[in-house]
Structure 1
Amino acid sequence: MSPEATPDPRVGVAERLYAALGAGNCEALNVLLHNDFVGHAAEGMPLGMGGEHVGAEAMQNNLWWRIGEHFRVHARPTQFETLGDGRLMVVGSYVGKARRTGNVLDAAFIHLLDFAADGRICALRQLTDTAAWHAALNGPGPLQTIDYSVADGVATLCLNRPEARNAINMMLAQETLEVARRIAADDTVRSVLICGNGPSLTVGGDIAFFLNGDSEALGDLIQSMTVPFHQGFDILSRLNVPIVTAAHGAVAGGGLGYVYAADLVLAAEGTRFVTAFAGLGVSGDGGGTWHLPRLIGARRAAQAYLRNTPITDTEALEWGLINEIVPADELRDRARALATELAHGPTKAFGTMRRLLRESWTNDLSTQLAEETRVIKLTAGSADFAAAVTAFAEKRIPEFTGR
């Protein structure tokens, strides 16, 4: 909202709502909520908190106060936006801990608020990363859609819905975030391999999953999936270790995000990349509108989006979307060998390189040169640099430890 714009009074009401929730102020909540208030908590919330809650009292007893019983948590809004349908969208995070386990909770949320004619809130729809709530309450459960392992410094994130060609449903979106968090928290990880079991890396969104939803709430459903999905990619983008993706079969829709997440991409012969969004009448996710123009150029990206034009393996190589085409039966082994090679490299330097390359898109040359000057001192102070200098003087190949 620009400084000249008239402040939206609904934002003030929403801010008072979060203040009342933080203070546990029932009286204030009763003033803010309309008599016909209906709340919709995210399906899959623990402790039976998900679903519809009719009336302010039901919302308080079955969701808000139940959260307070089991968590020390605050809803921290960071963005308020008025939507075209008149609702107010609030973006933020739930931050705190589970009371019983002490596990940290950091779950993104989107709240969609409807207002009555008198200015009070008549409906609230909650979209949140429900897996994070369960993990804080009970610890992380077994993964159902991703095979995850760490060996020899390589963290492998392998999409594992082969019967659905690794189509992305709510569980896969949430587990992408969960695995990204595990990788970020594991100091033994020195590189990441992303791959997929079955005939394709991923064909994008699971249409069958969308068909099971209420047609009037499809937008909310897709948005609720996109929140953890994008948060996972944001974490992957900020890792201090390199990422390799092995692409094969069809790579489509938001599933292209697993390609964009990588520093190096190997593709099996015959792999096809397609945005697919125009064919479904949606605008897209997975970070493609940011990554694709930077990787292959604005005109080619526009064609890929607006005309749904597939990108062949040879085009992907020529245009810079991938690094190498390999025989299909060699893809996984070649990709793992590359990830292992990187895992045995100078990890601190790799992490700094990733950040410098990422920030170069927004820095001018003077800023980038200054940042390179600053951080090369840090990497030159590493044990790996000292070992490499000694190895060079002794005319042997250095052995990096990542320290």
Structure 2
Amino acid sequence: MTIETTKTQLVRDFYAALAAGDRDTLEALIDPAFVGHGAEGMPFGIGGAHDGAEAMRRNFWGVIARNFEARAEADEIVALDDGRLLVTGRYRGKGRNGGGPLDAAFAHLISTANGRITSLSQFTDTARWQDAARTRTLDLAIADGVATLRLNRPDKGNAINEAMAYELLDMATEIAERDDVRAILIAGNGPNFTVGGDVGLFAKTSREDLPKRLRRMIDRFHLAIEKLTSQDAPIVAAVRGGIGGGGLGLLYVSDIVLASDTAQFALGYGRLGLTADGGNTWFLPRLVGMQRAKELFLLNRRLNAQEAADIGLVSRVVADDALDAEAAAAAATLAAGPTNAYGKMRRLLRQSFETSLADQLNDEVEAIVDASRSDDVAEGIAAFVEKRPAVFRGK
């Protein structure tokens, strides 16, 4: 038997063990010093280097197994001049928990030594993986000018994980690119809005990997917050149950925040020894004042809905059974308004804490002059004169 044949059989045994989830065989086939590299852009932040066989099993293949019903089907194995093997084939399967179908080509570069696999570099169509994972953590529906975005991990308190951060950025981008979106409604499926970051996920992450996981997740979550903040379309948040940690960032980007009388608000970072994300250190002092913000951070005070309203975190408290209807009505009212002008209002208010009075006055002039050129202003003035409701088109 040639060396190439031996290597090829080793690799075939490896793919068979992966498909069967045969941990004992994988341990025998993979060198303990194995180095894996997932394709950049893989979902759940598993792209990049995984040093060691255990890290690859736990943080790459294990994540795939938890989130996908999929297998790698090797079609062709070619020996390269440098001693490595090039394996080509397809990943086939589907995302778990409502995810879509997966059918993605792959190429793996595999190195072997002493009868074991020492490295694997993955190349694949990561967009197909992202599509297969999509719809697990968020629901987006657009109708009658309102984009309704619902956090959809009710069994986990809508805790924010990597998938949700990635998906939130994708959906915020999609909303921004739609001309027909004139208001946004953010809510949570289940009894909670969001408990914040997925502490259960953090607990399963090794101490060495936690900083990288947090960076990948929070970078995208922050980009989503920026994207939502910069929309012309005004945003309504409907808060039911618990909301905490970085999840408060979704409250901060909202212009109208309606809270059920069941709502509870807390930061929670101090309990974990963490600091802050989601824009908490920027938005919170501006909403409630510096001294109160420090108290909420350092003493981890939990606020009920009325307390949150009293200090300016929410716009209004409503009965729990009325929350959905009132939030939908507010979003519909905003969707019928002058969207372009709303966008200018949002930007002027957001910058006002950092801009000098002279600059702010100048920006107000430029914004109102620019807005005056729109069809909506012509309609608004005509409707005022004619004593009838205006019919705005959002342009």
Q: TM-score normalized by structure 2?
A: 0.69
1:242-301 CA-partner distances (Å, limit 9, x unpaired): 000011111111111111110110000031110000001000111100000000110111
Counterpart-to-counterpart distance in 2, 1:139 and 1:223? 22
The corresponding residue for 1:291 is 283
CA distance in 1 between counterparts of 2:131 and 2:39 reads: 20
Q: Offset at 1:212?
A: 2.1
Aligned position for 2:42: 45
Correspondence for 1:398: 390
Q: After the TM superposition, which residues 376-387 of structure 1 pair with which residues of structure 2 at under 5 Å, given as runs? A: 376-387=368-379
Pairwise CA RMSD: 2.6
> Do 1:148 and 1:157's aligned partners in 2 also have CA atoms closer than 8 Å?
yes
Q: 1:209, 1:228 → 2: CA distance?
A: 17
- In the aligned structure 2, how far is the partner of 1:280 from the partner of 1:197? 26
Query: Does the C-alpha gap of structure 1 residues 396 and 44 become closer, same or farther in structure 2, counting only changes over 3 Å?
Result: closer
Aligned identity (percent) is: 43
Supply the distance in 1 between the matched residues of 2:132 and 2:179 (Cα, whole angstroms). Answer: 18
Instruction: Work out which of the residue numbers 313, 334, 343 in structure 2 matches 1:342.
Output: 334
Amino acid at match of 1:321: L
Equivalent residue in structure 1 for 2:244, among 246, 252, 264: 252
Unaligned runs of 5+ in 1: 1-35, 55-60, 67-132
2:270 is the counterpart of 1:278: yes
- Matched letter for residue 315 of structure 1: E
* Counterpart Cα distance in 1 of 2:163 and 2:134: 12
Say whether the 8 Å CA contact 1:304–1:311 is kept in structure 2. no
Q: Which amino acid in structure 1 is aligned with residue 214 of structure 2?
A: I
- Is the 8 Å Cα contact of residues 182 and 334 (structure 2) preserved in structure 1? yes
Query: For 1:174-215, what per-residue CA distance to the aligned partner results, in whole angstroms no more than 9, with x for missing partners?
Result: 111111111111111001000001111000111221122122
Mapped to 1, the partners of 2:303 and 2:178 lie a distance apart of 35
For the Cα contact (< 8 Å) 2:42–2:130, is it kept in 1? no
Tell me, in whole angstroms, the C-alpha distance in 2 between the residues paired with 1:138 and 1:318. Answer: 42
Letter in 1 for 2:219: V
Asked which structure has the greater CA Rg, the reply is 2
Indicate conservation of the 8 Å contact 1:42/1:51, yes or no: no
Which amino acid in the other structure matches residue 322 of structure 2?
A: E
Within the candidate set 170, 178, 187, 1:195 is matched to 187
> Deviation above 2 Å: which 4+ runs of structure 1?
38-46, 48-54, 133-142
Distance 1:250 1:399, change over 3 A: same
Is 1:165 aligned with 2:182? Answer: no
Q: How much does 1:374 deviate?
A: 1.0
Helix, strand or coil for the counterpart of 1:216?
coil
Q: How far apart, CA to CA, are the structure 2 residues paired with 1:220 and 1:137?
A: 21
2:40/2:48 contact within 8 Å kept: yes
1:301 aligns with 2:293: yes
Could you tell me which residue of structure 2 aligns to residue 364 of structure 1?
A: 356
Take 1:44 and 1:374, find their aligned partners in 2: how far apart are those partners?
A: 41
1:229 matches 2:221: yes
The equivalent of 2:118 in structure 1 is none
CA distance in 2, matches of 1:235, 1:228: 10
The amino acid that maps onto 2:216 is S
> Taking structure 1 as reference, are residues 42 and 301 closer, same or farther at Cα in structure 2, changes over 3 Å only?
farther
Q: For the Cα contact (< 8 Å) 1:345–1:400, is it kept in 2?
A: yes
Contact 1:134 1:140 in 2 (8 A): no
Equivalent pair of 2:186/2:237 in contact (CA under 8 Å) = yes
TM-score by length of 1: 0.68
- In structure 2, list runs of 5 or more residues that go unmatched: 1-32, 53-79, 81-85, 87-124
